[in-house]
Amino acid sequence: MANGTQRVGSSNSSGNSVATEGQSGANTAITYPDGLAYRVDLPVHLAGPDGFTKSGQLSGTHNLQNATAALDAQGAIYNLIPTGTAGISELKYSYTNAAGKTVIGSKTVYDPAVYSDQAVLNMSQAVGQRGYQMYLQNPSQRMFDINEGGVNFRVYINTDPKSGLSYVGNVHPIK
């Protein structure tokens, strides 16, 4: 598997992968489909700070406090728009980058007072598992919108160019 992916758990006798308490955040084991892997930096990518893309967009960083702190450091102006889900909002922002160009962006963020980073990671892994199972049923589809715990998420399935194996390349809350 590529350096950017990590297998979720150890294989059991059924060929499925098993996540233990430390991986799932629960007191019971969760069985994942064989071959399921996530990007290694998923916890940091979700909560942030995860930096900015080449175009200046805020990368990952769906934790509201971390997102606004990163934008404050850029001198950004931003507006928080509530969604229909308590604790989930759309963060619209703009700032002028070092080259003098205006960067405009938006992202869905979660309020850490409502959803802890660990809770969002757990929900993300659960929808990642479901998205991966859906991908196995229809490999031509690589993006899935899935609800978990009342929160909408988007799951992206990527393929490692070296191994050819598929993995959950990204999963994040959406409005």
Give 69-106 pLDDT, tens digit per residue: 999 999 999 999 999 999 999 999 999 999 999 999 99
- Sheet architecture: strand order including 10-11: 10-11, 17-19, 30-32
Is pLDDT of 23 > 50? Answer: no
Question: Does position 68 have pLDDT exceeding 50, yes or no?
Answer: yes
Is 44 within 8 Å of 51 (Cβ atoms)? no
Beta strands in 99-165 (DSSP E): 102-110, 143-148, 151-159
In this prediction, residue 60 carries a pLDDT of 95
Q: What is the tens place of the pLDDT at every residue in 97-125? A: 999 999 999 999 999 999 999 999 999 99
Q: pTM for the full model?
A: 0.80
DSSP secondary structure string for all residues of 39-99:
ETTHHHHHHS---B-TTSPBPS--BHHHHHHHHHHTT-EEEEEE-SSTTEEEEEEEEE-TT
